[in-house]
Amino acid sequence: MDMDFEKRETVAMDEYVQMITLKTSVLLAASLKLGAILGGAGEGNQNHLYEFGKNLGIAFQVQDDYLDAFGNPEKFGKKVGGDILANKKTFLMIHAFETAGADQLAALKELLKNNAADKVEKVMQIFKDCKVDDWARELKNKYLQTALKHLEDTAVLSARKKPLQELADYLMLRES
C-alpha cells in the first residue's frame, strides 16, 4: 500500500491511517497483546494493551513523518525531505492536499510530478503556509492521549505500566 500510494495523485487520510496501522502499529499492538495473553491477562486488559500499542504506533508514524520534514537533520540522522523527494503521501502531504488553496494545490501537484532542485523547499513552504506542522503535533498528541488512556484503563498496578509509559515517552520525545 505504501509503495502504491507514491504512484497515486491523492490518498485519503483514512487510507493512510489504515496502511500505517497494518505496516507499523499492529506489530506493536500484537506484541503487547501476545505478552498479555502469555501473562494470563483477562480479555479486557489484552484489548487495552492492543489499543495502546496500535495508537502509539500511529502517533509514532505521525512523529516520524513530522521529523522527516521538520526535524533537525543532524539529530534525525538523515536528510530532511526524503519523503517529499520520494513523493510519499505522508500525514503531512495528505493534510496539505486537504487544506491547501487552489494555487497551492496546483503547485503541490506540479511539484510531485518532477524532482526540481528546489522541490523540498517549495513543498515545505506550502506545508508551513497550511500550518501542517502545528496540525501534525496535534494529531500526534491525539493518538498518544488515546494510547495513554488505554494504558491507564489497563487494570494492573501502576508500577507494571511504567515500562510501557517510558516506551511511549521515548518514542514521542525522540528527535531521530
Q: What is the tens place of the pLDDT at every residue in 60-81?
A: 999 999 999 998 777 766 778 9
Q: What is the DSSP letter of 39?
A: T
Element of type H or E holding 41: none
Across the chain, what does the average pLDDT equal?
A: 93
Q: What is the mean pLDDT of residues 48-52?
A: 98
pLDDT of 27 = 96
Residue 147 CB neighbour total at 10 angstroms: 27
Distance of alpha carbon 148 from alpha carbon 49, whole angstroms: 10
pLDDT of 76 = 64
Distance of alpha carbon 52 from alpha carbon 37, whole angstroms: 15
**What is the percent of the chain with per-residue pLDDT over 70, rounded to a whole number?**
97
State the pTM of this model.
0.91
Q: Which triple of cell numbers denotes residue 61?
A: 508514524
Contacts of 55 (CB under 8 A, 6+ apart): 25, 143, 144, 146, 147, 150
- Which residue, among 164, 141, 137, 139, has the nearest Cα to 153 in the 3D structure? 164
Q: Residues 146-159: pLDDT tens digits?
A: 999 999 999 999 99
Distance of alpha carbon 44 from alpha carbon 166, whole angstroms: 22
State the Rg of the chain over Cα. Answer: 18
Domains defined along the chain, listed by start: 2-173 (1.10.600.10)
